[in-house]
Chain A
Amino acid sequence: MPEFETDSNLVQEYKYGFFTDIETDTIPKGLNEEVIAIISAKKNEPVWMLEWRLKAFRRWQKMKNPDWAFLDMPEIDFQDIHYYSAPKEAVDMKEMDPELLKTFERLGIPMGERDALSGVAMDVVFDSVSVGTTHKEMLEELGIIFCSISEAIQEHPELVKQYLGTVVPPGDNFYAALNSAVFTDGSFCYIPKGVTCPVELSTYFRINAADTGQFERTLIICDDNATCSYLEGCTAPARDTNQLHAAVVEIVALENADVKYSTVQNWYAGDEEGKGGIYNFVTKRGHCRGRKSKISWTQVEVGAAITWKYPSCVLEGDGSVGEFYSVAFTNNKMQADTGTKMIHVGKNTSSTIISKGISAGESSNNYRGLVKVMEGASNARNHSICDSLLIGRDCSANTFPYIESEDDSAHLAHEATTSTISEDQLFYLKSRGLSEEDAASMVVKGFCKDVFKKLPLEFSVEAIKLLEIKLEGSIG
């Protein structure tokens, strides 16, 4: 694991909280069938796609916003949101709006030619649209499709039709149904049989416009014996109103395929009083369809006012493997309810869960997870470790592990700890010349190490740096 030095110049306030003033094409607030038709039309979608959306919308209208997570939030007025907003200027990479380019520069996203050699292919979603994907030609030579989902719907309808909604059906839950009706953009990846994708596939989500909901839809398909690693990152301007990001991510792993999905989530989290911030309500699920396939989720959650997500694996193929590695940091009045579901269906399937929750300020940080072994899923194995670290006295951490086993041959192990940074640890490190903040930060990074080492190398460095920034001011 790369180890990061604290950079005293790093500002502790949210440095991505700026707003880019560009001309946008935004449709009026409100949600109805007409709005959905407009979104579909703006994306030049085929009729089947519009029908799929409308079907989802009709289902959603009959559903209720779930309340089982006991999150403390005001009711969301779904008619008070813009469901589509896009930069007006051409989105061709070469003619990109200079303001937009400047934005990407500030966000540290490599979009220009000069960065074409970096080992990351990037798709960027700005509010409701994808504004450009890099490394396209190189990937095309390998038969890899990496583009926005809007483009995929037009260019590769057969693949989209075959897989969209097969992992997370439109009626799965309230936000999945809403997303299915109004999703605007996201990434599409297809790795053909036997291909190991040579670069990290990455999508950067940016919410810019006010009162806009972002409905990301991502679909990743890894065919037989194929391998890929995908990473997403997210930021948003600092505003005193809440904004909704309701994403659906679906992963399909066919025989012997290996998908690694990593997230560094740094949405604006609201201010110290809990005003503003992004509601991050996300459904992420992977389906290990083929024998010996593997899906691994790694998430570093340091932003958003409320996070509500459970990246999951359905282990259907015999011998398939699911993994979930998570670091969730909450501060001030942030609320996080996150975890995973591992559904063992096939024989000899195994899953690993390592969750590290760190709470500071008055935040609340919950792990909620389900390990389910279906009848006939013989020799299923799961190992879960859920650790919580508390910083200060006003925060809370809870662990809700649910285990359901219908097969006697299952081996399930669960460990959970809750600790505070101990005075003895701080005194020991301080007596070695480290400041209180450096000492605490060192203890926290050590606590998260098992998860950070699962991230792709360069992102691990970023994630550690990000956590350091977030820790500043939360200690002492």
Chain B
Amino acid sequence: MSYLQIKNLHAQTGDIKILKGVNLEINKGEVHALMGPNGSGKSTLSSVIMGHPDYEVTEGDILLNGESILEMDPDERALAGLFLCFQYPVAIPGVSISNFMKKAVDARHPEGKAPAGPFLKEMRENMEYLDMDKSFANRGLNEGFSGGEKKRMEILQMMMFKPSISIMDETDSGLDIDALQVVAKGVNKMRGPDLGLLVITHYERILTYINPQYLHILMDGKVVMSGGPELVKTLEEKGYDWVREQVSVTA
């Protein structure tokens, strides 16, 4: 049984059906990439997994460690081990990163409060690893951040919260090559037997830094094709039209 199981997931916002039967399984220790053309439902899938209130699940289930999370609030899902790297993280003006991080780390601590010393040390080390300046910790959360700073901030959180399943929603979009490398560095550091990763992306570029074991292609709200690393190359050469042809042939 996989750690994260997405079974025949149907979801809609208002009357618009976006996910039309997604099946996907991710285990700890695995890195999966999910690609698809614009409008295929990639970002919706990540929002639905995290429990965004704008989406309604009409059919299917999401299981984490064998248990359905559909009835859980986003905060409960987070504490159960899910993490979402947002494509567009919102700003929370006036809330310092250190205060926010402490609260979020406290929420995960068995006693409800993480000792300040080790917390600060770990945060400092992780920030250094991501080439973030120390003064960053005093800034307002995502307040006036550049695109690259926002994404580093997301990776920093992933490193601090240590999720079992992390979904990266187009973390690479809008990043220059330096920022992309830093993001990849953080992700690769996190890789290991305790983390299952789902990297959602529009471009193959990031996949050359993060070598996924599996690639899935999402089209029109369904996973239409899955394969190993070789599929990345094929997709790069032949494009989504080829996928469409293949799918219509098998259909």
Q: Which residues of A contact B (CB under 8 A)?
A: 3, 5, 422-425, 427-436, 438-439, 442-443, 445-450
Contact residue among B52, B99, B100 (Cβ-Cβ distance under 8 Å from A427): B52
Q: How far is the CA of A445 from the CA of B75 in the complex (A)?
A: 20
Q: How far is the CB of B222 from chain A (nearest CB, A)?
A: 25
Question: Does the CB pair A431–B84 fall under 8 Å?
Answer: yes
Q: How far is the CB of B221 from chain A (nearest CB, A)?
A: 22
Among B77, B84, B99, which residue has the most Cβ atoms of chain A within 10 A? B99
Q: How far is the CA of A176 from the CA of B113 in the complex (A)?
A: 50
Interface string of B58-98 (1 = CB under 8 A from A): 00000000000000011101110001101001101111100
A431 and B95 in contact, given A422-B90, A425-B90, A442-B100 (Cβ under 8 angstroms): no
Q: How far is the CA of A445 from the CA of B103 in the complex (A)?
A: 13
22 contacts between A and B (CB under 8 A): A5-B106, A422-B90, A425-B92, A428-B86, A429-B92, A430-B78, A431-B74, A431-B78, A432-B78, A432-B100, A432-B104, A432-B161, A433-B79, A434-B103, A438-B107, A439-B75, A442-B95, A443-B95, A445-B95, A446-B141, A447-B94, A450-B94
**A3 and chain B: residue at smallest CB distance:** B99
Question: Does the CB pair A430–B95 fall under 8 Å?
Answer: no
**Residue B117 at the chain A interface, CB threshold 8 Å:** no
Question: Does the CB pair B50–A431 fall under 8 Å?
Answer: yes
**B84 and chain A: residue at smallest CB distance:** A431
Contact residue among A436, A442, A443, A450 (Cβ-Cβ distance under 8 Å from B75): A436
Contact residue among A428, A433, A436, A438 (Cβ-Cβ distance under 8 Å from B90): A428
Q: A431-B77, A449-B95 are in contact. List 14 more A-B contacts (CB 8 A).
A: A3-B99, A422-B90, A425-B92, A427-B50, A427-B53, A428-B92, A430-B73, A432-B107, A433-B79, A434-B103, A435-B107, A442-B103, A446-B141, A449-B93
A446 and B108 in contact, given A3-B99, A424-B90, A425-B92 (Cβ under 8 angstroms): no
Q: How far is the CB of A415 from chain B (nearest CB, A)?
A: 14
Q: Which residues of B contact A435 (CB under 8 A)?
A: 75, 107
Question: Does the CB pair B92–A442 fall under 8 Å?
Answer: yes
Q: Which residues of A contact B89 (CB under 8 A)?
A: 428
Question: Does the CB pair B90–A430 fall under 8 Å?
Answer: no
- The A-contacting residues of B in range 103-153, CB under 8 angstroms, are 103-104, 106-108, 113, 140-141
Q: How far is the CB of A427 from chain B (nearest CB, A)?
A: 6
Question: Does the CB pair B75–A433 fall under 8 Å?
Answer: yes
Q: How far is the CB of A140 from chain B (nearest CB, A)?
A: 41
**Residue B44 at the chain A interface, CB threshold 8 Å:** no
How many residues on B have C-beta within 8 angstroms of the other chain's C-beta atoms? 34
Q: Which residues of B contact A431 (CB under 8 A)?
A: 50-51, 74-75, 77-78, 83-84, 86
Contact residue among A5, A434, A439, A447 (Cβ-Cβ distance under 8 Å from B93): A447
A446 and B92 in contact, given A430-B78, A433-B79, A433-B107 (Cβ under 8 angstroms): yes
Q: Which residues of A contact B95 (CB under 8 A)?
A: 442-443, 445-446, 449
Q: Which residues of A contact B77 (CB under 8 A)?
A: 431
Q: How far is the CA of A438 from the CA of B107 in the complex (A)?
A: 10
Q: Which residues of A contact B157 (CB under 8 A)?
A: 432
Question: Does the CB pair B103–A438 fall under 8 Å?
Answer: yes
Q: Which residues of B contact A430 (CB under 8 A)?
A: 73-75, 78
Q: Which residues of B contact A (CB under 8 A)?
A: 50-54, 73-75, 77-79, 83-84, 86, 89-90, 92-96, 99-100, 102-104, 106-108, 113, 140-141, 157, 161
A427 and B74 in contact, given A5-B106, A442-B100 (Cβ under 8 angstroms): yes
Q: How far is the CB of B167 from chain A (nearest CB, A)?
A: 10
Q: How far is the CB of A48 from chain B (nearest CB, A)?
A: 50
Count, A-B residue pairs, CB within 8 A: 81
Q: How far is the CA of A425 from the CA of B74 in the complex (A)?
A: 12
Q: How far is the CB of A381 from chain B (nearest CB, A)?
A: 25
Q: How far is the CA of A422 from the CA of B100 in the complex (A)?
A: 17
Q: Which residues of A contact B78 (CB under 8 A)?
A: 430-433
Q: How far is the CB of A358 from chain B (nearest CB, A)?
A: 13
Q: Which 10 A-B pairs have the closest CB atoms?
A: A446-B94, A449-B94, A446-B95, A433-B78, A430-B74, A433-B107, A3-B99, A430-B75, A432-B104, A424-B90
Q: How far is the CB of B150 from chain A (nearest CB, A)?
A: 11
Q: How far is the CA of A429 from the CA of B86 in the complex (A)?
A: 11
Q: How far is the CA of A3 from the CA of B95 in the complex (A)?
A: 9
Q: How far is the CB of B178 from chain A (nearest CB, A)?
A: 26
Q: How far is the CB of B78 from chain A (nearest CB, A)?
A: 4
Q: Which residues of A contact B53 (CB under 8 A)?
A: 423, 427
**A2 and chain B: residue at smallest CB distance:** B99
Q: How far is the CA of A432 from the CA of B140 in the complex (A)?
A: 16
**A432 and chain B: residue at smallest CB distance:** B104
Q: How far is the CB of B89 from chain A (nearest CB, A)?
A: 7
Q: How far is the CA of A432 from the CA of B94 in the complex (A)?
A: 17
Q: How far is the CA of A10 from the CA of B158 in the complex (A)?
A: 31
**A450 and chain B: residue at smallest CB distance:** B94
**A453 and chain B: residue at smallest CB distance:** B94
Q: Which residues of A contact B73 (CB under 8 A)?
A: 430, 436
Q: How far is the CB of A449 from chain B (nearest CB, A)?
A: 4
Q: Which residues of A contact B113 (CB under 8 A)?
A: 5
A433 and B104 in contact, given A427-B52, A428-B86 (Cβ under 8 angstroms): yes
Q: How far is the CB of A436 from chain B (nearest CB, A)?
A: 7
Question: Does the CB pair B75–A434 fall under 8 Å?
Answer: yes
Q: How far is the CB of B171 from chain A (nearest CB, A)?
A: 15
Question: Does the CB pair B96–A445 fall under 8 Å?
Answer: no
Q: How far is the CB of B238 from chain A (nearest CB, A)?
A: 36
Q: How far is the CA of A442 from the CA of B73 in the complex (A)?
A: 18
Q: Which residues of B contact A427 (CB under 8 A)?
A: 50, 52-53, 74
Question: Does the CB pair A433–B94 fall under 8 Å?
Answer: no
Q: How far is the CB of B81 from chain A (nearest CB, A)?
A: 10
Q: Which residues of B contact A445 (CB under 8 A)?
A: 94-95
Q: How far is the CB of A277 from chain B (nearest CB, A)?
A: 29
Question: Does the CB pair A3–B96 fall under 8 Å?
Answer: yes
**B80 and chain A: residue at smallest CB distance:** A433
Q: Which residues of B contact A443 (CB under 8 A)?
A: 92, 95
Q: Which residues of A contact B50 (CB under 8 A)?
A: 427, 431
Q: How far is the CA of A38 from the CA of B108 in the complex (A)?
A: 63
